[in-house]
Structure 1
Amino acid sequence: MRAVVLPRYGGPERLALAEVETPRPAPGEVLIRVEAVGVSAGDVLVMRGEPHLVRLAFGLRRPRQPVIGRDVAGEVAAVGEGVTGFAVGDAVFAESEQGGWAEYAVVPEQYVAARPRSIDAVHAATVPVSAVTALQGLRLAGLDAGQHVLVNGASGGVGGFVVQLAKAMGAEVTGVCRGWKADHVRALGADHVIDHTRDDFTAHEGRYDVVFDLVADHPLGRTRRALKRGGTLVLSSGRGGRNLGPMGRIAAASVVSPFVPQRLRPLAAKRDGDDLAELARRIDAGEVRPVVDEVFPLERAADAARRFEAGDVRGKLVLAVR
C-alpha cells in the first residue's frame, strides 16, 4: 500500500511517499480502507520530534512507527477475530494510535464508530482528534447552559469544535482569533469575537465561567484573571519549550490549582469510540459542522504539513487518500 513515511524526525521535507506492507487486523482490530485522513497538531509534533518529551513515547532517535496520522475515515476492509460491531463495507471513522497517513490503517474496535450519514469521508476525517478533544474538555469544565465560555484559539481545528459544542450545550461563547478569521468564528456560532492583535482577553477580569486555552500565549496567572471566582481554565496544547512543550505549563497549573479561587484543569484527551458516536449524532442533528480549509492528495502530505505550520488555517486540513 502507499503510505507517507517519516524515517527520521525533522521538517516536512522528511516526509516521503513509499510502498509499505498493508497491515493485518489482530484480534479485536478493524482494518480500515482509508479514504481521507486529517492533519492535526499532534502529527506535526511527532514529525518534528519536539518537544523532546514526544520521543519518549514515539522513539528516541527515530519514530518507532514511521507512518504518522490519527484521524482516519473510510470503510471497513477486514475485521480481526472477536470484532462484532463492524462488518466489511461499513462506513466508519476512527482515531488510530498512529499509521493513518496511508491507504489502510488498523484500529482497535473500541476506537471506531459509524461515520455520520450527513457528511463525506473528507469532512469526517476532521473529527476524531479535534472534536473528541473539544467534547472531553467541555465535560472536564463541567459546562452548564447559560455559562460564558471563552475559547482562545477559536478558529483552529479543536477551537472550532469547542465553539460549536459549547453553543449546542447552551453556553454564551466568545472566540479569540486573528481579526481576519473573525467572520469564520462568528459563522461557527460565537456570540462575540476578540481580535487578539487588538485586544487582550486577559484584561477582561472576572468575566468568564470557562476559559478553554488552546494557545498558551499569556502567562498562567494572567489567563486565570479572565475567569470568574470559581471558574474553570481548561489547558490543552499550546506553546512551550523544546524539551517539555506545553507539559511545563500543565505541570505548573496542577501545582497552583489547589491554592487559587479557580479550577485549573489540564486536558489529556483520550481515544473513545463512544465519544465519536456521540459526535456523529450531533453532526447528523446539525449541531456541529466540520470545517475543511484545504484538501491535499496523499502525495502532497509535506505541503499540508507546511501549510499547518504556517498557522493560517481555518478549521482543518485533510489528506485525500483515494
Structure 2
Amino acid sequence: MKAIVQDVYGSAEMLQLRDIPKPAPGDGEVLIRVRAAGVDQGVWHLMTGLPYLVRLFGFGLKRPKVPVRGREVAGVVEAVGAGVTRFQPGDEVFGTCEGSFADFVCAREKLVARKPVNLTFEEAAAAPISAVTALQAVRDGGQVTAGQKVLVIGAGGGVGSFAVQLAKAFGAEVAGVCSTGKMDLVRSLGADHVIDYTSDDFASAGVLYDVILDIAGNRPLSVSRKALTPQGTLVIIGGEGGGKLTGGFERSIGAPLVSLFSGQKFKGLVSTENYRDLEALTTLLEAGSVKPAIDKVYALADAPAAVAYLREGKVRGKVVVSI
C-alpha cells in the first residue's frame, strides 16, 4: 500500500511516498481503508519531533516511533480484530489513529465512531482531533452556558473554526479574533463579532468576556486577563512559538497556578481522544449546528505540501488529504 513515511525527524522534505506492507488489526482494533485524513498541528510536531517534550511522551526519542504521519482519519472498515463489537466491515467511520496518511491504517476501536451521514469523507476527516479539542474546550474547560460572552482567539484555524460554532451552539454570544484574511470565514461560522488582531487590540477595547478560548496563542496571561470578567475563565488550548523544549506549552502548565491568586480561572487544556465525544459531535454535525470548514484538499502524494501549508499560518479552517 502507499503511505507517507519518514525515517528521521525533520521538515516536510523528510516525508516520502512509499510502498509499505498493509497492516493487520490487533485485538481491539479496526483496519480502515482510508478515504481522507485531516492535517492538524500535531502532524507537524510529530514530524519535527518538536518541542522535545513530544518525544518524551513516547513518540520516539531519536526517530519517529510510528514512521507514517497523519492522525485524523475517515474511511471504511476493512476488517476488525478480536474483541471488537461496535463495528463490522463496510461501516463508514471517523476517528484518530497513528498513520492515517496511507491507504490503510489500524485504529483502536475506542477512538473511532460512525461517520456522520451528512458529511463527505473529507469533511469527516477534518473533525476528529480539531473538533473534539474545541468541544472539550467549550464544554469542559470553559463550561460555556447560554447568554455568556465568549472570545475565541485563533477563530479562523482548525480548532478555532469549530470552537466558534460550538460556543454558538451552546447559546453564547461569540467574538472571534483572527487575521484580516480570515474575517469572512469567521463571520460565516456564526460569530457575532469579528476582531482583526492586526489592527485591533481586544484586551484594550473595554469589552469583558465570561470565557476566553486562547488557541495556540503566545500572549502573556496578563494581557488576556484584561478582557476577562472578574470571575471569568481563560482556557489555553495548545501552544506555539515557544522554545524547542516545551514549545509554548509552559503557558498551559503554569496557568492553573495563577488561578490560586485570582478570582479569575486559568486553565490549560490537554484534550483526550475518545469515541463518546466523537458521537456527541456527530449529533451536532448531523443537525447542522456545526460544519467543518475546509480550506484545501490535497492528494496523498502531496501530503508534505499540505503540512507545509498548514505551518504558514494562512489556513482558513482545515487542510485535508484525500486518498
**Partner of 2:91 in structure 1?**
90
Please give the root-mean-square deviation of Cα atoms over the aligned residues, in Å: 1.0
- Tell me, what secondary structure is at the counterpart of 1:118? coil
For residues 117 and 214 of structure 2, the distance between their equivalents in structure 1, rounded to whole angstroms, comes to: 31
Map 1:22-37; keep pairs closer than 5 Å. 22-37=22-37
Map 1:197-276; keep pairs closer than 5 Å. 197-205=198-206, 207-239=208-240, 240-276=242-278
State the 1:205 CA deviation.
Answer: 4.7
- Tell me, what secondary structure is at the counterpart of 2:105? strand
**Partner of 1:115 in structure 2?**
115
**Partner of 1:280 in structure 2?**
282
1:206–1:229: 8 Å Cα contact kept in structure 2?
A: no
2:32–2:107: 8 Å Cα contact kept in structure 1?
A: yes
**Partner of 1:144 in structure 2?**
145
- Tell me, what secondary structure is at the counterpart of 2:280? helix
For residues 201 and 64 of structure 2, the distance between their equivalents in structure 1, rounded to whole angstroms, comes to: 39
Amino acid at match of 2:194: V
**Partner of 1:135 in structure 2?**
135
Deviations 1:236-291 (A, max 9, x none): 11322111112211122122121112111110001110111111111110100111
Q: Which piece of structure 1 moves more, 203-212 or 120-129?
A: 203-212
**Partner of 1:78 in structure 2?**
79
Moved over 4 A (4+): none
For residues 202 and 215 of structure 1, the distance between their equivalents in structure 2, rounded to whole angstroms, comes to: 17
For residues 95 and 253 of structure 2, the distance between their equivalents in structure 1, rounded to whole angstroms, comes to: 30
- Tell me, what secondary structure is at the counterpart of 1:23? coil
2:209–2:229: 8 Å Cα contact kept in structure 1?
A: yes
- Tell me, what secondary structure is at the counterpart of 1:122? helix
Normalised by the length of structure 1, the TM-score is 0.97
Map 1:301-316; keep pairs closer than 5 Å. 301-316=303-318
2:10–2:48: 8 Å Cα contact kept in structure 1?
A: yes
Amino acid at match of 1:157: G
Amino acid at match of 1:248: E
What is the aligned length? 320
State the 1:70 CA deviation.
Answer: 0.9
1:205–1:227: 8 Å Cα contact kept in structure 2?
A: no
What are the ranges of 5 or more consecutive residues in structure 1 without an aligned counterpart?
A: none
For residues 241 and 261 of structure 1, the distance between their equivalents in structure 2, rounded to whole angstroms, comes to: 30
- Tell me, what secondary structure is at the counterpart of 1:284? helix
